[in-house]
Structure formats: C-alpha cells, structure tokens
Chain A
Amino acid sequence: MAFTNYILVCGGTGCESAKADQIYQNLLSAANAEGVHETVQIVKTGCFGFCEQGPIVKILPEDSFYVQVKPEDSEEIIKEHIVKGREVKRLLYDKSESKKHARVEDIQFYQKQFRIVLRNCGFINPENIDEYIARDGYAALEKVLFEMSSDAVIEELKKSGLRGRGGAGFPTWLKWNFTKQVDSEQKYIVCNADEGDPGAYMDRSTLEGDPHSILEAMAIAGFTCGADTGYIYIRAEYPLAIGRLKIAMEQARAYGLLGENILGSEFSFDIEIRLGAGAFVCGEETALLASLEGNRGMPWPRPPFPAVKGLWDKPTVINNVETWANVPMVILKGGEWFTQIGTEDSKGTKVFALTGKIRNSGLVEVPMGTTLREIIYDIGGGIANDKDFKAVQTGGPSGGMITKDYLDTPIDYKHLQGLGSMMGSGGMIVMDEDDCIVDVTKFYLGFTVDESCGKCSPCRVGGRTLYNTLDRITKGEGTMEDIDKMRSCGYAMQKASLCGLGQTAPNPIMSSLKYFEKEYLAHIKDRSCPSGRCKELISYFILADKCIGCTACARKCPVSAITGERRKIHLINQDLCIKCGICYEVCKFDAVYVG
C-alpha cells in the first residue's frame, strides 16, 4: 500500500536532546496501535533549523508544522491528524492566525532562506541512502565519472566561484587544481569537520542531516585530483554525526559508491573517519593534519601548503564540511547556476548558526549578500525579550563585533572583513543591552588563550597579556595606557603569530575598541559597567519609590544582606552583598537597580 501521509521528525542534536527520539518511537507505536502504520511513513530527519521551537514534527502532504512537541503528544498526532485528518491546532507554529499561516513557506523564519547546503536536511532520512539517491544523490558523482574529465570539473568549480566555507574563503577550484597538478603516487582528500567555534553547529547539522553529500563530494575530489583515500576529521563530541557518517559509508560501499571501481569505473576511493579530541587549533588545517598523523595538533608555517605537501607529506585537499556540501550541486546544476546566487565576490549561500539573545535561534541558510538586518530581524525575529540590540559577532573568537550602524551591510567575504570581522565558519552571536562588551571580549580571549597550542610566543604570550589586561579592566583596575597597549600587542599578534589562531585572536579586542571605546572608558575612568555585568563594578540598590515591601528579595538573598519589614522599603547592606543578582531576578516590581 502506498503511503498517504509522511511524518518528518527532526532528529538534529538540539531536538534529539529534547527527546525527539522518544517522540519518534511513540509515533511509531501509536501508528501501530491505530492500525495506520501502512499508510503513514514516519521518518527521522536531520535538523529543520528552527531550533528555538524544537522538537519539530512536520506532516506531509498537508505541510503541517508542529512545534515544541512532547513525547506524550505523539498519540494525539496519530489519532487526530493521521486517523481523522484533523490538524492538532495547539501544536501548530502559529496558532493565533488563520490556518494558512501554519504552512512552512509562510513561516517568516524560512522566507528569506535559500537552501543549497541544507537541501536535504529535514527532508530525508539520513540513515537511508535510497532517500538521498531519490533526491539526485550521487548523480553528480556519476556525471563526473562518466561524462566529465578532471579538467572539466575544475573548470566548473572555477566558473561557480565557490570559495571555502571554513573561514578563509580560498577559491575551491584553485586548491583542487594545485593538488591535481602535483605529480605524486599518493594524494589525500580531507574533510574538516572539527567545527571548533563555540556557539556554532552548521557542520554538525549538515553531517547529521545529509552525510552522503559529503561522501559524494569527497569522491568527486578524489577523482579530480587523483586521490584514492579520504579522511573525515570530526570532533569526538559529535557522536550522532559520527554514527550517521558510519552508516552512510557502509551503505555507500554496499552500493558500489565507495570502494574499488566505483560504479564499475576505473576509479577507486574510500574514506576513513578520524576523531578529533577537543582542541580548537586542530580546526586549522596544518594542525589538523598533524593531529591526523597522531601527534599533538601543532600547526606548521605555510608554505608549503597542504595542497602541495600535506598529510604524511603528500598533496592533500582539505575542505570544510559546508564547502563539500556545495560541490555536488555545483556539478549537477552547473557553475553558471551557482553564480546567479550571491554577490560579486561571494557566490552561493552561507549557513549561519544564529544564537545568543535572538528570538528565534536556529540554523539559517541565506544567499550571500543578505544583510545582517534581514537575518537578525526578519529571520531571527529580532532581539529576545524586547531588549535593545547591541552587537553581533560573526567569525567566532576570530571575528569581530558589528554594531547597529552596520546592520544593513550585505554579508559577504569582502564586506565583513571591511568591518573588522570575518565570515568565519558561520557562528552568528547576537548581543543585547545586558551584555557587557568588555566582558564578552574577555570571554573570547579566555577561549583563545585556553586553546593556543603554545608553539609560537606572539600567540602564547600576547594572548595571555591581552586577557590579563581585560581582566583588570573588568575589575576596575584598568588604566588609560591599557588601551594603547592592547592595540599594539594585538597588532603584533596579528602580524607575527604562526597560524590563524594567534593572528585572529585579537580581532574581538580590535573591533570592540573601535566601536565600543566608550564602554572601555566607562570601566576604566568611571569604574562602572554600563550593562551591570562586571561584578566588581556594580552595586545593587533598592529603589524606594518602587519597593512595596513584598520581602521576596530578602527571603531569597543567600547572605541575608537585605533587611526590611513587610510592606516597608527594604535595604541592601553593601558590605554583606556578594552581588549574585538574585534580588534583581526575583523582584517583580523593578525595584532593584544595578549601578
């Protein structure tokens, strides 16, 4: 019997953590119990992107979009929707508006998005190769093997203008061409799935939702450059993605799409998974290769570039997950098609993990050239809790902060760099008025100091110096000289560090000094933190005109620093106060003031 309904359950890490698997299991058993298991197909897919509203369940053909589903809702979904054909209204995304507004295409979160990389995420079961093949999967590999020469592949990539999505934006065709041109018995293809930017999960979602697209692309590169072995270097912290990759590799081998004589051609290629072990610097390509070789992940100075002399000194193409995911589409639809999306110097789309103080956090894919405002306000729904926007950081710890004045900047490699930030791998962290710029900058520096491999002194010593200076400033011990010192120290690190980690580590400081110097000055000159975040610089007061004497704060204060009788104004003893902020949180009358 043919299926009349399809239920797609999001199986991305976010939803999975919120019991998506239980929902899936419950749907299966409810379908069995109701005797509809032969008319409804229930599939666990990759990430839908709309993580804020997860777990998400989508039902076709009606295109009903259920959000914040709980395991116990499964039975109702089957009984009402599948058996009786009535949507479960209370689970629809937009309950308030007319029924029409529940459709996926009407949801504003998806309207400005354009999916190339995430084309299959949320549509197919990533653990079933047939579903990938049904959506033109492996057609690009077949085309390459039987209809194209390796030169033609390079030509197509060149025409497309595809640039690396791992951060630096290096033209993909050029990298492949270097490796292709080197005469060597052995060459390697590597997928960089070390995704170290804290607060970003684009690569993870792509691997979890569409693992075959990566395998296919790597095989295409193997054919083009003359390599028979590929490695996927993936964070050990991503067990779901690793599991799905393993399944995908087995299935691809069984179908003759990996291994000896792929699809009966002369070409043989296979892939192995290697695990990272929690070192951010291993995302840097030379450090990654050192780690693949089983060593400490220390970068080496380039040149030689890995494309010429990489893994075990052999020519090695290394690309980021998202770059790989683009490749099959470029081959299938043509480089020309790809150039129609995006801007002058940046073609195609970019996936961002939109997080922080944003209303709809999630995974978004937009054409290059989309503005920050469109992403944050149209897709992201603006700032959470009606707070004011303060800054957005792209490029993670290597990037910079962008202010309100630049929200209309189109996102592409050139423009972001012009603002002192960078594309990075796709983390996009939104900050609101409550976030202290100096504190966040210190957080980023703390991260890079932790993650510096220690090989070169500009990074090892410079990073520590910058961190310590920021630490003093947040404690009200900064001096005006500190500002100049940080600038010159940062400049030295940018110029003299061995790898990208040290070269970009000062970026959060450089950009925040440029756009938020006032906030630094407040910390240094006035010894105050305008956002009320830096504990040493703030005090909590109770406002006499607002306090009604409800005693909530006094009861919650862990050190009994608040005194006052019921219905009388309360008072905080500043000598006892440990500035934990609990009074501020519990006061329902806005009577606690931070200053």
Chain B
Amino acid sequence: MAEQRDTEQITFSDELVKYIETWKHKPGNLIMILHRVQEEFRFVPREAADEVARILDVPLAKIYGVLTFYHYFKLTKPGKYNIQICLGTACYLKGADGLIEEIENLLGVSEGEVTEDEQFSFESVRCVGCCGLAPVLVIGDEVFGKLTKDQIPGIIAKYQ
C-alpha cells in the first residue's frame, strides 16, 4: 500500500480501474489514462494523481510534468457549469473579447475562477471548430454561436 498521506483517500470507479488495467502495459499510456481520470472527476485531483503514480509505478513528478504541460488537463475543480469562450482567431475578430468582459461582469469572476456558489466557472479556449458560427460560447454540450453581448445574460440565466 502507498504511504498514508494526510490528504483524503480517493476511490476510482470499477470502470476506471478496468480502463487503467487495459492500458497499464501499453507504451505511452500516461496521457490516455489521465484523460480517463479527468473524465471521471472533471479535473485531476492530487489524490488521483497519487493513485495513478502508484498503479503505474511512475514518479508523481512525471505525472505533474505532463499535467501542467497540457492545457486540457485541469488541476482545480471547475464549476458545475464550465463556460468556455472561444478565443480562436475567427472568434477574436468577431468580438469574443467583448463576450469575455460581459461574462466577467455578470459572474464577478475572471478567467479560470469559480463563482462562490460553485455553479459557474469560465475559461477561454482556442477554436472549438465552429468558426462559421463565430463568436462561439460552449457550456457542456451546448454550443451558442453568432453571439452578441446582450445575449449572454439570457444564456446564463438558463443555467441558474
């Protein structure tokens, strides 16, 4: 067993354990496994990283090296609804920075932060591939395109 640390223990679901088992001996598996971990927790908690280090028998430093290199991996818990604003070129030209201002004003948080009630977090992303709909905002699976600033309050209200 791994040395007991004063942080909370974490349990991996059976599916996650099984997934890790199938990938365990494949070369270059770390990123795939971390993706699966993030899918389960919506971010990669420190305890989960510890657990992966233990199962794969790789140094924790290596895992954090990878986690911090890639934008996709999150180290802190996002809000219940994570609002993504596209800051790809097409969206930028069509005023995505204005949308960001509007959201910051409305939610009172800046990029990467979570609202106090943990309902919303917000981040900017680079091109979600719907440039024809620029500027674009994504919440979960829902994509809102051809947006103007004044539509933002209505969209957020839908989730409140």
- Find out whether the CB atom of A238 lies under 8 angstroms from the CB atom of B72: no
- Find out whether the CB atom of B32 lies under 8 angstroms from the CB atom of A275: yes
- Chain A residues, CB < 8 A from B37: none
- Chain A residues, CB < 8 A from B91: 199
B126 contacts chain A at the CB level, 8 A cutoff: yes
Determine which of A277, A295, A296, A429 lies in contact with B72 in the assembled complex, contact meaning CB atoms within 8 Å. A277
- Find out whether the CB atom of A293 lies under 8 angstroms from the CB atom of B28: yes
Determine which of A276, A294, A580 lies in contact with B66 in the assembled complex, contact meaning CB atoms within 8 Å. A294
Interface residues in A11-61 (C-beta closer than 8 Å to B): 13-14, 17-18, 51-52, 54
- Find out whether the CB atom of B126 lies under 8 angstroms from the CB atom of A280: yes
B87 contacts chain A at the CB level, 8 A cutoff: yes
- Chain A residues, CB < 8 A from B73: 277
* Given A355-B131, A429-B90, A435-B93: A17 touches B126 (CB 8 Å cut-off): no
Determine which of B29, B66, B145 lies in contact with A17 in the assembled complex, contact meaning CB atoms within 8 Å. B145
A225 to chain B, nearest CB (A): 20
Interface residues in B88-146 (C-beta closer than 8 Å to A): 88-94, 98, 101, 125-134, 136, 143, 145
- Highest count of chain A CB atoms <10 Å: which of B28, B87, B101: B28
- Chain A residues, CB < 8 A from B31: 274-275, 277, 291, 294
Determine which of A13, A278, A429 lies in contact with B70 in the assembled complex, contact meaning CB atoms within 8 Å. A278
Interface residues in A566-580 (C-beta closer than 8 Å to B): 580
- Chain A residues, CB < 8 A from B66: 294-296
- Find out whether the CB atom of B72 lies under 8 angstroms from the CB atom of A443: no
- Find out whether the CB atom of B65 lies under 8 angstroms from the CB atom of A296: yes
Report the interface size class on chain A. Answer: 35 or more
Chain B's closest residue to A311 (CB) is: B28
A224 contacts chain B at the CB level, 8 A cutoff: no
- Find out whether the CB atom of A14 lies under 8 angstroms from the CB atom of B132: yes
Report the interface size class on chain B. Answer: 35 or more
- Find out whether the CB atom of B132 lies under 8 angstroms from the CB atom of A199: no
* Given A18-B145, A198-B88: A237 touches B125 (CB 8 Å cut-off): yes
- Chain B residues, CB < 8 A from A338: none
B69 contacts chain A at the CB level, 8 A cutoff: yes
Within the assembled complex, what's the spacing in Å between the Cα atoms of A450 and B149? 26
A584 to chain B, nearest CB (A): 12
Interface residues in A421-465 (C-beta closer than 8 Å to B): 427, 429, 431, 435, 440, 443-444, 447, 453
* Given A201-B129, A201-B131, A296-B66: A275 touches B35 (CB 8 Å cut-off): yes
Within the assembled complex, what's the spacing in Å between the Cα atoms of A355 and B91? 9
A279 contacts chain B at the CB level, 8 A cutoff: yes
- Find out whether the CB atom of A429 lies under 8 angstroms from the CB atom of B128: no
Chain B's closest residue to A52 (CB) is: B132
- Chain B residues, CB < 8 A from A280: 126
A-B contact pairs, 25 of them (CB 8 A): A13-B129, A13-B130, A17-B130, A17-B143, A51-B130, A198-B88, A198-B90, A198-B127, A199-B88, A201-B129, A236-B35, A236-B72, A237-B72, A276-B70, A278-B70, A279-B71, A295-B30, A295-B65, A312-B27, A355-B90, A356-B90, A357-B94, A393-B89, A440-B93, A581-B98
